[in-house]
Amino acid sequence: MRAVNVTEYGGINVLQVAEIPKPIPKKNEALVRLKTAGINFIDIYMRTGSPNIPVPLPFVPGVEGAGIIEEIGDKVSEVKQGDKVAFVGNLGSYAEYITVPSSQLIPLREEISFEQSAAFPLQGMTAQYLVHDICTIKPGDHVLVHAASGGLGLLVVQWLKHLGANVIGTVSTEEKAVIAKKAGADHVIIYTKQDFVEETKKITNGIGADYIIDGVGKSTLTKDLDAIRTRGHICIFGLSSGAPDPIVAHNLQLKSIAITGGNLMNYLTSREELLRRANKVMDGICEGWLKLNISGIFSLDQVNKAQDLLQNRKSTGKLIIKI
Ligand SMILES: NC(=O)c1ccc[n+]([C@@H]2O[C@H](COP(=O)([O-])OP(=O)(O)OC[C@H]3O[C@@H](n4cnc5c(N)ncnc54)[C@H](OP(=O)(O)O)[C@@H]3O)[C@@H](O)[C@H]2O)c1
């Protein structure tokens, strides 16, 4: 089969398409003929050999995809040949085929396209746990979302608005500000021109944000401690600008701040939990209040271009691969 095969860590040039053996499903697995795959920031950590997400070489990148089941192992009961499915957390979706444990497959609804199906599992379910599981968000709460025009950011903004929150987004450019506003952000701070701590304080009458959703890390987390209100919550769930500096515990005590580490896999601990969260996202899509904002569709041969856009802040919304 054709797949992107990474044999060394490095720049986008290590993303090379090659012919490799088609995988064979084990007794509890299904072989999925991939139609689409999602591109995510975690793919960049893996490609560059980040010590935070170690992946042994060689590997086929991509942790999210959608397709049709071509074959199932002897012990598979959750799905059958011909089913339309999606998945997240299984490495190897930049390829024509992948094997996935059947308990980790998400049955798809007819009305959801393969393009949408590669765009919602990782970022959609992450948005879902970020707004429902870290702290209770009440209508009118001020929630600060970093990288608000990104793939994850746009979903979080829409979900927060659905819950009635007052959303403050940060972005790097005017163009990205327009996109974040269109998704529903009440206030957008262009952090390359404005100080996000000062602006957040202004917007919240000096109080600070109730909750900060931070997937940026190094350039934001330390400043979040000044932008958050007394007894506020911060979720740190990504490091697109690098791993954040250590935090002095005493600084949390001064304002009684809670910081939670976010990792989707810790919120998908059983099939019941996976399907419940996936269905919440599909409900939002089908009800029309959650838009996926697919801004780029690439072929396997073009994944280097796509990763370059994502890594260098040149993308908004979701990038996917059509296989
Ligand atoms: N732990 C989890 O459960 C989980 C799940 C999904 C995603 N994530 C994390 O969520 C974050 C967003 O992921 P995504 O795929 O949706 O990406 P994305 O937000 O579409 O792209 C990253 C954005 O981060 C901002 N950024 C700020 N400083 C940056 C820097 N130095 N280099 C690159 N980007 C920088 C840029 O937006 P501006 O130009 O507006 O600054 C950029 O567009 C990532 O950190 C990812 O690892 C975590």
- State the distance from the centre of ligand 1 to the C-alpha of 151, rounded, in angstroms: 8
- The pair phi, psi for residue 314, each rounded to 5°, is -100, 5
Give the neighbor-by-neighbor strand order of the sheet with 258-261.
Answer: 187-190, 166-171, 142-145, 209-214, 228-236, 258-261
Q: Show pLDDT as tens, one digit a residue, over the chain (323 residues).
A: 999 999 999 999 999 999 999 999 999 999 999 999 999 999 999 999 999 889 999 999 999 999 999 999 999 999 999 999 999 999 999 999 999 999 999 999 999 999 999 999 999 999 999 999 999 999 999 999 999 999 999 999 999 999 999 999 999 999 999 999 999 999 999 999 999 999 999 999 999 999 999 999 999 999 999 999 999 999 999 999 999 999 999 989 999 999 999 999 999 999 999 999 999 999 999 999 999 999 999 999 999 999 999 999 999 999 999 99
Helices (H), 248-297: 249-255, 271-287
Q: What is the pLDDT of residue 311?
A: 98
**Which atom of ligand 1 approaches the CA of 148 most closely?**
40
Which one-letter amino acid corresponds to residue 87? F
Q: What is the pLDDT of residue 24?
A: 97
Residues lining ligand 1, judged by CB closer than 6 Å?
40-42, 122-123, 126, 147, 149-153, 171-172, 176, 215-216, 219, 237-241, 262-264, 310, 313, 315
**CATH label, 124-264, candidates 1.10.3720.10, 2.40.50.220, 3.40.50.720, 2.130.10.10:** 3.40.50.720
- For the chain, the structural domain boundaries read 2-119+292-322, 124-264
What's the gap between Cα 290 and its chain centre? 15
**Preceding amide of 58 cis, omega within 30:** yes
**Which atom of ligand 1 approaches the CA of 240 most closely?**
45
User: CA distances (Å), 198 to each of 28, 53, 201, 202, 220, in order?
Assistant: 53, 34, 5, 6, 13
Using the CB atoms, write b or e for 277-292: b if 16+ within 10 Å: bbebbbebbeeeebbb
Length in residues, the chain? 323
Q: 2-119+292-322 in CATH: which number?
A: 3.90.180.10
- State the distance from the centre of ligand 1 to the C-alpha of 240, rounded, in angstroms: 5
On whether the pTM is more than 0.95, the answer is yes
Q: What is the pLDDT of residue 120?
A: 98
Q: What is the pLDDT of residue 52?
A: 85
- State the distance from the centre of ligand 1 to the C-alpha of 237, rounded, in angstroms: 10
